[in-house]
Structure 1
Amino acid sequence: MPLFEIETDNHIIISWAQDSDSASAIVTDAYPSERVIRLTKRPRDTWVISKAALGIPNAADVCDSARDCLSKAQGDKVHAIRLYMHETGVDLEQARKAIESNMVMGW
């Protein structure tokens, strides 16, 4: 089954689907008020996001720390960001990027 990248006004969704129509239906089910603005069939069956591109240095430590903070905060993003800033000493923007990138990866 092909992998599709589906961009809406507020989200980028990566999902397997049989075809373009099925991929669009994923958006309709999950976000009925959003419109598909770009739909791309990926050339391979995997998706990779570079942590360096997200501005996250030293990826292994960030993941473990960010996921630990998300767990302690029970998924509360703002609380997790505060915890992350306190535990790592990074600024607000770095903490936000670390927590948000780990939220989308599933913690």
Structure 2
Amino acid sequence: MPLFEVETDSHIIITWAQDNDEASAVVTDAYPNDSVLRMTKRPRDTWVISKSALGLSGSLDVCHTARDCLSKAEGDKVHAIRLYMHETGVDLEQARKVIESNMVMGW
């Protein structure tokens, strides 16, 4: 089954679907208030996100550190970002990217 990347006004959704109509139906079911801005049938059946493109490179295990900060902050994003900045020394924008990407992964 093909993998589709569907961008809405609020989300980027990666889903398997038989065709564009089925992929649109997934979006409508999950996010009925979102409008589809772009839909791309991926050339392969996997999805890869480059950590370096997100600014997550180096020897530090950023995911573990981010999840630890989220846990200490009890899911409070702003507090977790502050903790991450304090523990790693990164700037606000980089800390935000790391914390938000880990929140999506279900820390």
Above 0.5 in TM-score?
Answer: yes
Q: How does 1:19-34 map to 2 (within 5 A)?
A: 19-34=19-34
Gaps of 5+ in 1: none
Which shows bigger deviation, 72-81 or 38-47? 72-81
Q: Note if contact 1:51-1:59 (Cα within 8 Å) is conserved in structure 2.
A: no
Q: Note if contact 1:65-1:84 (Cα within 8 Å) is conserved in structure 2.
A: yes
> Is 1:91 the counterpart of 2:84 in the alignment?
no
Quote how far apart the aligned CAs of 1:22 are: 1.3
Question: TM-score, length-normalised on structure 1?
Answer: 0.88
Q: Note if contact 1:3-1:14 (Cα within 8 Å) is conserved in structure 2.
A: yes
> Is 1:77 the counterpart of 2:102 in the alignment?
no
Measure the CA separation in 1 of the matches of 2:34 and 2:16. 19
Quote how far apart the aligned CAs of 1:48 are: 0.4
The amino acid that maps onto 2:94 is Q
Paired residue for 1:36?
Answer: 36
Gaps of 5+ in 2: none
Q: Secondary structure at the match of 1:25?
A: helix
Question: TM-score, length-normalised on structure 2?
Answer: 0.88
Structure 1 segments (4+ residues) deviating >3 Å: none
